Amino acid sequence: MTKTLSLQPVIMAGGSGTRLWPLSRSGYPKQFLVLAGNTSLLQQAAQRLAGLAAADIVVTSPLVVGNEEHRFMVLDQLREVQATPAAVLLEPMGRNTAPAVTLAALQALEAGADPVLVVTPSDQTVADDAAFTRALQAAARRAASGEIVILGIRPDRPETGYGYIRADGSAVAQFVEKPDTPTAERYLADGGYYWNAGIFVLKASVWLAALERFRPDIAEATRAAWAGRATDAQFVRPDKALFGAVPSESVDYAVMERCPGSGQPLGMEVLDAGWNDLGAWEAVWQAAPKDGAGNAAIGDALIEDSRNTLVHASSRLVGAVGVSDVVIVETPDAVLVADRSRSQDVKKIVARLGAEQRGEHALHRKVHRPWGWYDSIDMGERFQVKRILVKPGASLSLQKHHHRAEHWIVVSGTAEVTNGDQVILLTENQSTYIPLGQVHRLANPGKVPLEIIEVQSGSYLGEDDIVRFEDTYGRT
């Protein structure tokens, strides 16, 4: 009789994706974007992992490790593809991947089982799902006996943006840092080197034992933060102060690079499935469909007399004429033009935006919230106009503003408006006025989305001019 192994997917969704600015920003990073196909990268990861079930493999609900700020986006996007997470582990701050995986291992062991964990980033694409499934199933069967198995990609170009694995058959002999171009060319010619996909498969207990052996400081500090955790429905929050004291380290540095020669079996499965990590705009161009001249157009883009160019248009028509090896990315509030070979350096622009404390560093013009979203469609001295969508059954916090008044006009749906002591219902083409300092709330009691136009007027219109009294999403 075939023994069944339990497989627990672990989706790492805490990245900020700065090299894909201006489309990816810390407030809405790349894992939530639709960059290939019709679903986001996070949704694609969840669907791929759910497909790993076999006669001898039972796939349980995934664990997601992410940022507190993105918790409702995670749930909303997974709900859209019928993937209910077993838990969403919320990092109070980023401490790199080794502590993140440790949180997942501790959660996986909570029920008394010791599942095989398939740990994968949430920002990758795969062209051949069947090949992905075969490789991950093979890795899971190997991991069930105590081996750590990582996924290696056979390189097809001298890539300098990835770490490499030197393989000895199906075993890992060495990890190699991101090389310079001559070294990458040598690796490609050698044939024994593979890109490190950042996907690894191992039992929860094996990870914890290896971490305690190689980095007991990380293991001890993470366990302490886990012991002080708070649980709210699917959200699990380790103790903030104690998690802040956890050393920041990657999985590779903390454990993987120390395994060869240590007695801890470390193997590799080749993943030949059209893998791409979409880490920068060059990778997006590589993965995108192209015309005969190597141009990729996403959105409303017209390209003439150009070669090997990517144009990504989000909100308007973008035309490109007579350019080669260029990336052009348009969003409602920012445009990027870059040499395709320099796409890794987009992070320098993001660093400058952060240093200058510009809003384009973190947020789009359209900002997602737990209750829906708002889009700041116009602004000037002492006024701002927003388009607001509230999901069915959702509501904004009960709040007031010290420096602005607001006019609300319902475009579609039904609005329940708390305005001081009054609670009224408004429908299409009806409006109301919220005076400065008035306690108010906007809610959608209906079964269809509520859309309104909000006109703000006052001396200060910043998002921090909010005093919250009650909030469904714990933001008071």
pLDDT value at residue 118: 97
pLDDT, tens digit (0-9, with 9 covering 90-100), for 158-216: 888 888 999 888 888 888 888 888 998 998 888 889 999 999 999 999 999 999 999 99
pLDDT band at 409 (very low <50, low <70, confident <90, very high): very high
Question: CA angle, 274 as apex, 269 and 277 as ends, to 5°?
Answer: 85
For residue range 257-296, what is the model confidence (pLDDT) as tens digits?
898 888 899 999 999 999 988 889 998 999 899 999 999 9
Q: Rounded distance, CA 120 to CA 275, Å?
A: 12
For 123-137, the three-class secondary structure string (H helix, E strand, C coil) is: CCEECCHHHHHHHHH
CA distances from 103 to 40, 87, 439 (A): 24, 11, 40
**Per-residue pLDDT at 476:** 66
354/195 Cα distance (integer angstroms) = 31
- For residue 154 the two structure tokens come to 């056979």
pLDDT digits (tens, 9 = 90+) for 76-132: 999 999 999 999 999 998 899 999 999 999 999 998 889 999 999 998 999 999 999
Q: Provide the pLDDT for residue 284.
A: 92
* Residue reference for tokens 């991950």: 136
Single pTM value for the model:
0.88
Q: What is the mean pLDDT of the chain?
A: 92
Q: How confident is the model at residue 351 (pLDDT cuts 50, 70, 90)?
A: very high
Q: Mean pLDDT, to the nearest integer, of 415-439?
A: 95
Interval 436-446 mean pLDDT? 96
d(CA 413, CA 390): 9
Mean pLDDT of 439-462: 95
Query: Has residue 2 got a pLDDT over 70?
Result: no
Separation between Cα atoms, residue 451 and residue 192, nearest integer Å: 57
